[in-house]
Amino acid sequence: MTLLLRSLLLLKEKEFQASSIQAKIDARNDNFTNDISTFIESALSRTRRRIILDRVFIDHPTHSTLLTSPDAIDQEVIEHFQNFVPITSTPPSSIQDLPERWSNAYAPLADVSPAIFDSLINPPTLDEWFSTISSMPNDKAQDLL
């Protein structure tokens, strides 16, 4: 009975892991399509940083203006960054549409089996626990972390 429960537990753990991985992949693909900045931040493992402006000076040849209203500042900053450097190309619509150079760079390696990591998620066997514990000195506190 214990073996059956253990097998069921391992099966459920693998199902959970597979569904978790698939959810992350789906979120990544969705971000690539709908929120490219989140996709890039995630891919680069960085968080969004913002500069908070409390005033913006517009140096116009005929009339200079100092904006202090948060809404006016936000609007001017958005307008500036949308028009300051024109975007000459559009990003690919999906990860599969990346240029060949990048799709090849991120493709799984053909000579590496995806199964090599399967055993890493398996909990230690009872024999492995006993072997580890028996190899430790008696009357000593071990740092197991």
pLDDT digits 0-9 by tens, 43-97: 888 777 778 899 999 888 898 999 999 999 999 988 888 888 777 677 777 777 8
> Sign of the C-alpha dihedral, residues 60, 66, 70, 71?
negative
Residue 58 vs residues 67, 79, 84, 111, 128: alpha-carbon distances, Å: 8, 12, 14, 58, 69
Name the nearest CA neighbour of 7 among 130, 123, 85, 106.
Answer: 123
Across the chain, what does the average pLDDT equal?
A: 85
Predicted local distance difference test score (pLDDT) of residue 21:
92
The two tokens of residue 145 are 């972390």
The two tokens of residue 125 are 């066997």
The two tokens of residue 12 are 């459920």
38 — pLDDT class (breaks 50, 70, 90): confident
Predicted local distance difference test score (pLDDT) of residue 93:
79
Q: Does 106 score more than 90 pLDDT?
A: no
Q: Does 1 score more than 70 pLDDT?
A: no
Which regions of the chain does DSSP assign to beta strands (E)? 56-58, 65-67
5 — pLDDT class (breaks 50, 70, 90): confident
Predicted local distance difference test score (pLDDT) of residue 74:
92
Burial state string for 115-140 with b = 16 or more CB within 10 A and e = fewer than 16: eeeeeeeeeeeeeeeeeeeeeeeeee
